[in-house]
Amino acid sequence: MFIASALGILAAFFFFGILSSGKVSSSSEYSVASRKATAGGVSGIILGSLVGGSSTVGTVQMAYHYGLSAWWFTLGGGIGCLIMGLWFVKPLRATELITLPQFLGRHFGQGSAFLSAVATALGSFIALIAQFLAGTALLGSVFPFPAWVSAVFMAVLILAFAYGGGIKSFSRLGKVKIIFLYGVMILCVGAAFLSGQTPSVLMRSLPADPFFNIFARGVAKDLGAFTSLLCGVLCGQIYIQAVYAASSDATARKGCLWTSLITPPLGLLGVWIGLALRNSGVAVEASQALPFFIRTYFHPLAAGLLWSGIMITVLGTSVGITFGVATNLTRDMYLKTKRAAAYDDGKILLASRITVLGTVIAAGLIALAAGKSMILQWAYLGMGIKGAGIIIPLIAAVFLPGRLPAVWSLLSGTCGLAGVFIGAAFFKGMDPLLPGLALSGAIALAGLVLARRKTSLPGG
């Protein structure tokens, strides 16, 4: 009964997304929905990517270990969308582009464009690994398959939806899945409440530290995680694609603001579920905490429906991230080569789809090698890499256009990425994004000061 229910819901969502999107006939339709997305469509694209395995399986996993500290992912994501809607939509949409590297290239030249393409593609790819870890954990909780079979099944599902309708089908999936997901998480919290795991009981029964300490993993590490989400949303290709896909500036802004309200409460629901399972005394592999809860507290038919809701969430996010990576690799790297410069629209669409295939295969292989590592750690790392290499030049382009010289923008982004790897190697109690941002910011500030001095000199 459980399997029949789960597979039936998965099939219904798959056909809904494919059939409602229609045939994709151009690369623009595939990548930015022909720039006709409504506010709901924009929100659907963002939610489809942002709210996934990290926000559900990963949040419950971390809450089972650390409690309230697991909220930073969805809280940071929501505030990042708020900042995007309030201050970044208009300057980003001032030119009809498709990718963030194209935007930065307009301001700082091809060096910064290429560096930002590398940073956002690498960061998004690492985030895709997190989704694979969540998806294989979900599949492993139901089907007694080896890990590699679960990874193959996950890859097939991602590719089927990505090839079916491009960004249009993904937007529709995002809007429907968030309604479904809210229902799933509320039902799980309701089951916890009815079993006696109320907030007051949890606060009396569990130690305040770590379970109700928002900085349970350390102030530097948790603030770094929050900052990673802020930067990752502002610098994420799929979120930029959502802004470019909107029919107008007002529509894009409204979609971002809706998302900022919807996202954070989901994290709190996940924290409640993780704490309830911890307080029940059950010892379970942390990555299996959410699927274990669903299968334990609900009838098999209902459990299958709820499980499929979480699986759809993971799948939708995986598709969104895959689109982002493939768009960067195709439009910002491959199509810049002499061989691809003369490609017509059909060949661009084919190149995008081949890149999607390669991205999914590579992420699946690395996820298999990563085993049962913490899902949110991969998500934070991916967001941090995007932010460290892009956010400071992006802020300069949006708020100080023409003030930061191109060479200093490139140096700022390069040093930001280097700082992340230095932080990972030498600052174990701190999120590696923080030293990366500090180094990138210092370089950009030096460039702004020197440029101002030069212009203030006679003849400058």
Is residue 233 assigned to a domain?
yes
Res. 19 pLDDT band, cuts 50 70 90: low
Q: What is the spatial distance between Cα 166 and Cα 33, in angstroms, rounded to a whole number?
A: 8
> For the segment 135-193, what is each residue's pLDDT rounded down to a tens digit?
888 888 888 788 889 899 899 888 887 776 555 555 555 667 778 888 889 999 999 99
pLDDT value at residue 30: 47
The neighbour count for residue 71, using CB atoms within 10 Å, is: 21
pLDDT value at residue 202: 96
Looking at residue 77, which CATH number applies to its domain? 1.20.1730.10
> What residue numbers bound the domain in which 299 lies?
2-10+29-389
pLDDT value at residue 309: 81
| Residue that the structure tokens 């307080």 belong to | 279
Q: Is the pLDDT of residue 345 over 80?
A: no
Question: From residue 57, how far is each of 29, 231, 338, 402 by CA, in Å?
Answer: 32, 22, 43, 43
Is residue 16 assigned to a domain?
no
Is residue 163 assigned to a domain?
yes
Check residues 145 and 206 and name the one with the higher pLDDT.
206
Q: What is the spatial distance between Cα 44 and Cα 287, in angstroms, rounded to a whole number?
A: 26
Residue type for position 154: M
| Residue that the structure tokens 């299996």 belong to | 288
Residue type for position 196: G
Tokens of 277: 């399972």
Is residue 46 assigned to a domain?
yes
pLDDT average, residue stretch 369-390 = 86
> For the segment 215-250, what is each residue's pLDDT rounded down to a tens digit?
999 999 999 999 999 998 998 877 888 888 888 999
Q: What is the spatial distance between Cα 279 and Cα 290, in angstroms, rounded to a whole number?
A: 14
348 φ, ψ to 5°? -65, -40
Question: Helix 433-456 vs helix 219-235: angle between axes, to the nearest 10 degrees?
Answer: 60
% of the chain beyond a pLDDT of 70:
89
Question: From residue 432, how far is each of 116, 230, 260, 288, 418 by CA, in Å?
Answer: 18, 15, 25, 27, 10
pLDDT average, residue stretch 258-287 = 93
Tokens of 423: 């932080």
The answer to whether 228 and 431 are in contact (CB under 8 A) is yes
Residue type for position 14: F
The count of structural domains within the chain is: 1
pLDDT value at residue 81: 95
- Residue 426: CB partners within 8 Å, gap ≥ 6? none
Per DSSP, the three-state class of 248 is coil
Is residue 337 assigned to a domain?
yes
Is residue 397 assigned to a domain?
no
Is residue 436 assigned to a domain?
no
Q: Out of 44-58, 92-106, 122-136, give the one with best mean pLDDT.
A: 122-136
- Residue 232: CB partners within 8 Å, gap ≥ 6? 80, 123, 127, 382, 383, 384, 386, 387
Is residue 418 assigned to a domain?
no
Q: Is the pLDDT of residue 311 over 50?
A: yes
